[in-house]
Amino acid sequence: MINNNLNNKKILFVCDLDNTLIYSKKHYQNGDVLVEYIDGKPQSYMSPKSYDLFLKINRLVDFVPVTTRSIQQFKRINLPFKTAFTTNATILLNNGEIDKDFAEYSKKQVEPYKQELERLYNLYKDDQRFRIVRYVDNMFLFLACANGCTAEQCVLDIRTQTDLYTENTGYKIYTFPPTANKGESVKYFRKNKNYDFVIGAGDSPIDLAMLKKCDKAFVPNYKLAGNLNNTVVFEEKFTENMLEYVLEFLQN
């Protein structure tokens, strides 16, 4: 959508989901808006203020979530997204349907690393340090540490086994081919959709590839901001303050 308040520029907002836009039930506060169920049980929320701000921004610009979630996991979220990148920006969904052209592109990009991903899956699938080992949508490897295991130490071990990019967020570990990164979302939109200005938000090192390609980026801490230019940091109430800033930025 064209926003006249920004010199008629076509604006895109790419945003991570978990711990950036939405939060799990362990952070629930009275009155929060439920946006995700798992097997009929509440899972993820937004504060009323964040939810209202999101809806307003979503009407002003093209708001595209970019997530490591699988297609199935993403589809549990009840928010009015028309377009989304799942599976760490290797799958593009338009109105809930897979964009076949982009899927074919991603498949070719990941193909050279498929053998290595399968090797790692077989190496770790029965490893007692991990309670989950999953080959997500045939694009990257996800591991969840078992109780008593330290993700940081496991990441160091995995990095000795492969040159693929490996990072953790809490107890979750991801191993990606170099072509399976969130920066592909911005690259795709810049090339194919002709956006003039891209805003991005994220909370982890996995988001850096995306945020580095944005014209303005939002993060929750200065450590992450140290790797970026043109960045705004909100250490308190990140989602609310970030969305409020974006709305004011778009309207002024």
Distance of CA 192 to the CA centre of its chain: 20
**Domain ranges across the chain:** 2-89+181-251, 110-176
Q: Which residues of 123-145 are buried (b: 16+ CB within 10 A; e: fewer)?
A: ebeeeebbeebebbbebbbbbeb
Mean pLDDT of 176-205: 94
As a whole-number percent, the residues of the chain with pLDDT over 70 amount to 97
pLDDT band, residue 7 (cuts 50/70/90): low
Q: Give the largest CA-CA distance in the chain.
A: 56
pTM: 0.93
Whether residue 2 is predicted with pLDDT greater than 60 in this model: the reply is no
Side-chain-side CA neighbours of 184 within 13 Å: the count stands at 25
The pLDDT value given to residue 9 = 85
pLDDT in tens, 21-51: 999 999 999 999 999 999 999 999 999 999 9
Q: Which CATH class is domain 2-89+181-251?
A: alpha beta
**Do residues 72 and 65 make contact, with C-beta atoms less than 8 angstroms apart?**
no
Judged by DSSP in three states, 140 sits in strand
Question: Is residue 1 scored above 80 in pLDDT?
Answer: no
pLDDT digits (tens, 9 = 90+) for 89-145: 999 999 999 999 999 999 999 999 999 999 999 999 999 999 999 999 999 999 999
Average pLDDT of span 196-208: 96
Is 210 buried (19+), middle (13-18) or exposed (0-12) by CB count in 10 A?
buried
State the chain's mean pLDDT as an integer. Answer: 94
